[in-house]
A and B are shown apart, each in its own frame.
Chain A
Amino acid sequence: MSERRYDLAVAGAGLNGALLALAAARNGLDTVVVDRQPLDAMTLPAFDGRTTAVAYTSQRLFEALGLWAGLEPDAEPIRDIRISDAGHDGRPSPLFLHFDHRENAPTPDEARPMGWIVENRFLRRALYAALAREPRASVLAPAELAGTTRDATRALLHLGDGRTLEARLVASAEGRSGALREEAGIGARSWSYRQTAIVLVAAHELPHRGVAQEKFLPGGPFAILPMRNGEDGTHRSSIVWSERTPLAERLLTLDAARFNSEFARRFGDYLGKVQPVGPRFAHPLGLVHAERYVDERLVLVGDAAHGIHPIAGQGYNLGVRDVAALVEVLVEAHRLGLDLGAADTLERYAAWRRTDNLAMVAATDLLNRLFSNDIAPVRLARDVGIAAVHRIPPLRRFFMRHAMGLVGDLPKLTRGVAL
């Protein structure tokens, strides 16, 4: 049987699971995190070539956990965001929307970036190093989680090698295809956008000066996100290039020269000569939202609860807010000596997060539907909308606060307040 009883067992040591385990352990909960992959394999560039947009509120949580100092050298600040609409020819519409980070600050000196672009492997490296140093956190990886038994008194986690762990609460941070969500019989509303995101790194002649570009092309959004310069000093941006899936599949089979020219045509020439470097990754795009976030002694966090379209760069940041809210609720219950897995504790987390997540799920879905088409009246309406937002400063600031994550009932850790 089990040797010890953990307060919290986290299934999945991805960006969300590792963050949850670290934040919980740091705040006094005995935590174990289980993943089928060894952690060091997950920090290799080939394992996850993506970058993550870290919103201002998420950065404050990293700061609170003491991770930010180590991440900052590899994090490129997003100072401005420029949104434009473009037709088949890739030529931008004369109407555009520009968000300047200085606009939200009381004085120019206090201006904060709207977010940062960090390569996932650097986030993983920082999280895993901190976990290894955390006395209340245990890592079991590689280890297969075969299933759980959860009842009114405890949760048992059955591992593939026959071992059993005991915990008061299980958190699934397994991503969209969450096995524990299925085990619990929690349904999910999901649909495919029939789009695929091609993810790659591009080198360009001129510096990006911290400007993120979101170009709405008929096949889907094309995002150019400012990255730190490469080790050889090359100017780099991270690209999330969404296309309808059949076209994306054809593009991915093209030889380098033809692929590069398709890519450069969409990227444009505003940063001089441009060229993809390194491997291309393909991710089918879809939306998943779990019907409920909790079951007996089980909670869902991050993509296991809600996977959204990457159009607004908010997917991970929603997960970070899940983590911050869950840790706040659990630490409060722990300090009152309450049962961490009791239904009323979990219900508080679910009610808190559902509203925020639902708003983002709906907004990103609407944005994508609105922009991923080339119907003339829709295009005209959205161009006028974009230009209107651009010309009305309060509206512009409203959108910026959303992008920075500064909206809703923010958990303490994302406000920079200790628990």
Chain B
Amino acid sequence: MVHNASATTVDPAEVERFGRIADEWWDLRGKFAPLHRLGPVRVGYVRDHAARHFGRDPLGADPLAGLSVLDVGCGGGLMCEPMARLGGAVTGIDASARNVAVAGLHARGQGLAIDYRSGEAESMAAAGAQFDIVLALEIVEHVADVDLFLRSVGQVVRPGGIVFVSTLNRTAKAWALAVAGAEYVLRWLPRGTHDWRRFLKPSELSRGLRAGGIEVRGLTGIVYHPLSRRWSLNADDLDVNYILHGVRTA
């Protein structure tokens, strides 16, 4: 992968922070346990909307067969692997070479062929790569230049393709739950994982995507239930975590 140093959204401090804990990506009881629990809800949302967008049955066999998928900020491959099992031809990119190495090792153990590369959205865009489905989940709150990042994400979506973005809302409730609660009280996430000032309101995210030719088609909250320790979608509660999907029209 060519590293394009002139225009990058990668924040080196963030890359270093995640790289340090890369070995724990697949430990269900480790630091990434909340992401694992979030997995089924995120995959379900992506599968349902992507399959319907391309005229497939979301519950049928291999609903993503023949579709190319790019996961931007793939981490240990927690989204790439389900996407590949659902039939997608998956590429995962991450700014941390260590994450990419961990993800590649794990996928081989699972017998999955996933193209993992060290890199970022801008370099993919510069290389002219385009995909049917693009995922940018829990990543936009970690980049240095949000507008550049969202524009690059738009560019790597093939016209007519679909993109999914999830992040945290910049509300007092999000600060209380995701920063104070998850990092300081419950210690689910390492301290310093999130900087509340970088969280985006849905309107800001939509505006940024529109600049990259993406028209937002749907938006829903993702809500945590502490008693059952499970996540679910809730269209009426966008206060903390939310996910949206949009289509590249131009």
List the interface of chain A (C-beta within 8 A of B).
5, 28, 152-154, 332-333, 335-339, 342-344
Query: What distance in Å separates the Cβ of A143 from its nearest Cβ neighbour in chain B?
Result: 23
Q: Which residues of A contact B59 (CB under 8 A)?
A: 335
Minimum CB distance partner of B88 in chain A: A337
Select the stretch in B77-85, B123-131, B238-246 that faces chain A: B77-85
Q: B55 within 8 Å of A by Cβ?
A: no
Given contacts A28-B61, A152-B26, A344-B37, contact A339 B109 (CB under 8 A): no
Instruction: Report yes or no: A337 in contact with B86, Cβ–Cβ below 8 A.
Output: yes
Which B residues between 10 and 46 are near A, CB-CB below 8 angstroms? 26, 28, 36-37, 39-40, 43-44
Whether the Cβ atoms of B81 and A337 lie closer than 8 Å is: yes
Would A339 and B43 count as touching, CB distance under 8 A? no
Shortest CB distance B214–A (Å): 24
List 30 interface pairs A-B (beta carbons < 8 Å), by A numbering.
A152-B26, A153-B106, A153-B109, A153-B110, A154-B109, A154-B111, A332-B40, A333-B40, A335-B58, A335-B59, A336-B39, A336-B40, A336-B43, A336-B44, A336-B86, A337-B43, A337-B47, A337-B81, A337-B82, A337-B83, A337-B85, A337-B86, A338-B39, A338-B82, A338-B85, A339-B81, A339-B110, A343-B28, A344-B36, A344-B37
B contact residues, range: 20 to 34
Q: Name the B residues within 8 Å of A28 (CB-CB).
A: 61
Q: Considering the chains assembled together, what is the distance between the CA atoms of A343 and B28 in angstroms?
A: 8
Residues in B neighbouring A338, C-beta threshold 8 A: 39-40, 43, 82, 85
Give the Cβ gap from A409 to chain B, nearest Cβ, in Å: 13
User: CA separation between A343 and B37, bound complex, in Å?
Assistant: 12
The residue that B47 contacts in the complex, of A152, A153, A336, A344, with Cβ under 8 A, is A336
A342–B28 CB distance below 8 A: yes
B70 to chain A, nearest CB (A): 16
Residue of A nearest to B110 (CB): A153
Do A337 and B84 form a contact, CB below 8 Å, given A28-B61, A154-B109, A344-B36?
yes
- Find the residue from B28, B40, B59, B111 having the highest chain A CB count within 10 A: B40
Nearest-neighbor residue (CB-CB) of A342 within chain B: B28
CB distance from B107 to the nearest CB of A (A): 10
- Within the complex, what minimum Cβ distance (angstroms) separates A257 from chain B? 62
Residues of B within 8 A of A339 (CB): 81, 110
| Distance of A333 Cα from B111 Cα, bound (Å) | 17
Nearest-neighbor residue (CB-CB) of B64 within chain A: A337
Q: Which residues of A contact B109 (CB under 8 A)?
A: 152-154
> Chain A residues with Cβ under 8 A from B81's Cβ?
337, 339
Contact of A336 among B26, B61, B82, B84 (CB under 8 A): B82
A189 to B244, CA, bound (A): 50
Most buried by B among A332, A333, A342, A344: A344
> Complex: how many Å from CA A333 to CA B59?
11
Residues of B within 8 A of A343 (CB): 28
* Nearest chain A residue, comparing its CB with the CB of B83: A337
B230 to chain A minimum Cβ distance, whole angstroms, is 10
For the complex formed, measure the closest distance between the CB of B50 and the CB atoms of chain A, giving whole angstroms. 12
Return B218 CB to nearest CB of chain A, in Å: 19
Question: What's the least CB distance linking A190 to chain B, in Å?
Answer: 30
Contact, CB under 8 Å: A5 / B40? no
- Which chain B positions have C-beta within 8 A of A333? 40
| A345 vs chain B, min Cβ distance (A) | 9
Bound-state CA distance A246–B109 (Å) is 55
Those 5 A-B pairs whose CB atoms lie nearest each other, nearest first:
A337-B82, A153-B109, A337-B85, A337-B86, A336-B43
Cα distance A28–B37 in the bound complex, in angstroms: 24
A339 to B44, CA, bound (A): 14
Give CA–CA (A279, B123) in the complex, Å. 78
- State in angstroms the CA–CA spacing of A344 and B40 once bound together: 11
Residues on A with beta carbons closer than 8 Å to the beta carbon of B82: 336-338
Q: How far, in Å, is A83 (CB) from chain B's closest CB?
A: 39
In the complex, chain B residues whose CB is within 8 Å of the CB of A337:
43, 47, 81-86
A336 to B47: give the CA distance in the assembly, Å.
Answer: 7
- Which residues of B from 157 to 213 have beta carbons under 8 Å from A? none
CB nearest to B85 among chain A residues: A337
CB distance from A328 to the nearest CB of B (A): 13
Separation of A189 and B89 alpha carbons in the complex (Å): 48
Residue of B nearest to A332 (CB): B40
CB-defined contacts of B61 to chain A, threshold 8 Å: 28
Shortest Cβ gap from B221 to chain A (Å): 20
Chain A residue nearest to B105 (CB atoms) is A153
Distance in angstroms between the alpha carbons of A339 and B84 in the assembled complex: 11
Q: Which residue of B lies closest to A336 (CB)?
A: B43
Give complex CA distance A154, B108 in Å: 11
Task: Fill in one digit per residue for B69-104: 1 if any A CB lies within 8 Å of its CB, else 0.
Answer: 000000000000111111000000000000000000
